[in-house]
Structure 1
Amino acid sequence: MSTVYINSAACISVQDTLHENFLQGLTTRYDIQILKAVEPNYKEFIPPAMSRRMSKTVKMSSVASQYALKEAGIEQPDAIIVGTGMGCSQDSEKFLKNVIDNNEEFLTPTYFIQSTHNTVAGQIALGLQCHAYNFTYVNTSSSLEFSMLDAKLQINDDEAENVLVGSTDEQTERTMQLYCLNNTIKKPEDLPVDLLQSKTDGVIWGEGSSFFVLGKNKTESSYAQLKDIQISNTVELNEVQQYIGKFLAKNNLTFGEVDVVILGFSGDATSDKYYTETMDLFPDSALLYYKHLSGEFNTASGFSMFMASHILKDQQIPEAMMINTVKKDTIKNVLLYNHLLGSDHSLVLLEKV
């Protein structure tokens, strides 16, 4: 099987991650229910006439994908694969509002056409005039991981050399109201909250778009090797240590050989127990978390993949992400573990190039 390299990484998130020195400006907010992405000046990337017709997630993805392709030096990828949990929910809400306001009559089709989940991948392809394989995965919190797995298989099977892979999710007013009503988002009285010490359920919600170019060949811009991915819809709490142990054994690694473990602590006291159980397996590893920087959302793992890529390339761990005080002189193996409120568990193993 071919080695698969992450040859570029770009991210629009709650942090100013498009800025070159973003690691020095990482900020945390523990006192707010919903975190908004730091958006670029879209006029620099998208013609205003087109931008007005695009939802936020399409605009974020268009810019992030342009950054990723430019860094990798790729004009035409051999495939475009996007993962999203909620898709173009802004346009979905606009369409449904029109249905109600107009009593199901005289509806314009634009919002409906643009509300489909594969709009993002399609718009990127249109912008590039790319007629290659184009696919969208909608698998809640493992949407990016399924996209990465597809790209890895395409490269291993010699069907592609360079694949643009991304993840994206946006916030919408009505959906956020519903998440507050069903207590997916933390109640105001439970804030501020330290995600690692949270005693209440619910999360701080975020949004963002992360794009990567996976390639068959190592380049000057390569960040890491994508070694393996494992996805499981359900894992019982008493099975999580065995689940991770089997994954590492399959990759001929012991717990002690994992230098960095990035965990998806979200502040939801019930589901964060999976991460607490995981920590016990890695007493000698640097333990990190990230959702205090990105917020929780369906494809928040894109932010962790972006940060992990930088950690391996720069061989530095941002202090804002550290859970324990373990530091490594050389970082070779990084394990990412994520789930969304206890469902759709994913493990990703990255290795230094």
Structure 2
Amino acid sequence: MSAVYINSASCISVQDTLNENFLQNLKPENSVKMIKAIEPNYKEFIPPAMIRRMSKTVKMSSVASHHALKEAGIEQPDAIIVGTGMGCSQDSEKFLKNVIDNHEEFLTPTFFIQSTHNTVAGQIALGLQCHAYNFTYVNTSSSLEFSFLDAQLQISDGEAENILVGSTDEQTDRTMELYCLNNTIKHEGQLPADHLNSTTKGVIWGEGASFFVVGKDKTENSYAKLTDIKISNRLELDETKSFIQEFLTENNLSAQDIDAVILGFSSDASSDVYYTNAMGLFADSALLYYKHLSGEFNTASGFSTFMACHILKEQQIPEVMMINEKKKEEVKNVLLYNHLAGSDHSLVLLERA
């Protein structure tokens, strides 16, 4: 399968990533259980009458996709592909609450219609009046990676030239309560969290939306070449290194050829051991982490992809992301490794465009 290019990148996250100077203003957060996204002024992008009917994830995605298309100079993408772990859970909760409160009678269908996972991709298409291929992937932490794979296939098969690919997830009250109850999210007594040397289970939860325009051809503004992706639903701890080495071999690379590795350390002691194990392969690479900046959530890899794009384009690694002191003169190859609670392991190889 031929490589494709990431020609634009936009992100709404718990950092001020819509700001041009965001790399200089990254602020770690490890002392609260949940971190909210910094939202833009939606009235600048969405008519006020529509804003009231949109959930947070739809609003974030509408703005992030708008920025991505504008930066790429694309008015109509040839396809829209979105990955999400939880979908429009805000409207799902509202619908279920209505079911209970109204004893399953006299229900309005609005919240149900807007609660489906493909609402985001559909709303973006409606806004653009885009009738092209429209698809949503719901594969927990590898949702974005499957979306990228689909985009690669579409472009390799000649079905499309420029594709809008995105990922999005939001926080909702009831779901966060349940995550606290089952210890997915850390308790107050476990804070502040140490993302690299944690001895406790659970994570700090975040949210956000990241969108990219993936194209067949390299442009003047290209961020990176998306070379390859590998996904494994289950992985034993002792298989981590071979999983990565096989992926590098398939791309005619060795560990020494990787200039930077971005790892998804989440402060969950039981699952971060995979990343610690992987670090042993890359003695000469810059080792980076990011979930102390974004929080953990199903599609947090969208934030790491966004950061990797800027690192490759600007040839600048933010100090706040560094695990070790290694820095190469040129950052050419970046490897992204992510999973969620030890499941759905993904590798993404990006190359300087």
Q: Residue by residue, what CA displacement relative to the aligned partner does 1:193-214 show, whole Å, maximum 9, x if unpaired?
A: 1100110000000000000000
The answer on 1:220 being equivalent to 2:220 is yes
Q: Counterpart of 1:237 in structure 2: which amino acid?
A: L
Mapped to 2, the partners of 1:216 and 1:31 lie a distance apart of 43
TM-score by length of 1: 0.99
Partner of 2:131: 131
Q: How many corresponding residue pairs?
A: 353
Partner of 1:50: 50
- Deviation, structure 1 residue 173: 0.1
Q: Counterpart of 1:75 in structure 2: which amino acid?
A: E
CA contact (8 A) 2:225 2:352 kept: yes
Partner of 1:90: 90
- Deviation, structure 1 residue 316: 0.7
Mapped to 2, the partners of 1:193 and 1:127 lie a distance apart of 40
CA contact (8 A) 1:7 1:224 kept: yes
TM-score by length of 2: 0.99
SS of residue paired to 1:90: helix
CA contact (8 A) 1:10 1:306 kept: yes
Partner of 1:294: 294
SS of residue paired to 2:54: coil
Partner of 2:201: 201
Mapped to 2, the partners of 1:75 and 1:328 lie a distance apart of 38
Q: How does 1:1-353 map to 2 (within 5 A)?
A: 1-353=1-353
**What are structure 1's unaligned runs of at least 5 residues?**
none
Mapped to 1, the partners of 2:65 and 2:209 lie a distance apart of 9
Q: Residue by residue, what CA displacement relative to the aligned partner does 1:317-350 show, whole Å, maximum 9, x if unpaired?
A: 0001000000110011000000000000000000
SS of residue paired to 1:326: coil
CA contact (8 A) 1:16 1:38 kept: yes
Mapped to 2, the partners of 1:193 and 1:337 lie a distance apart of 21
- Deviation, structure 1 residue 3: 3.3
CA contact (8 A) 1:80 1:125 kept: yes
Mapped to 2, the partners of 1:221 and 1:120 lie a distance apart of 26
CA contact (8 A) 1:42 1:59 kept: yes
- Deviation, structure 1 residue 2: 3.8
Q: Counterpart of 1:249 in structure 2: which amino acid?
A: T
CA contact (8 A) 2:3 2:228 kept: no
CA contact (8 A) 1:2 1:216 kept: no
**What are structure 2's unaligned runs of at least 5 residues?**
none
- Deviation, structure 1 residue 220: 1.2
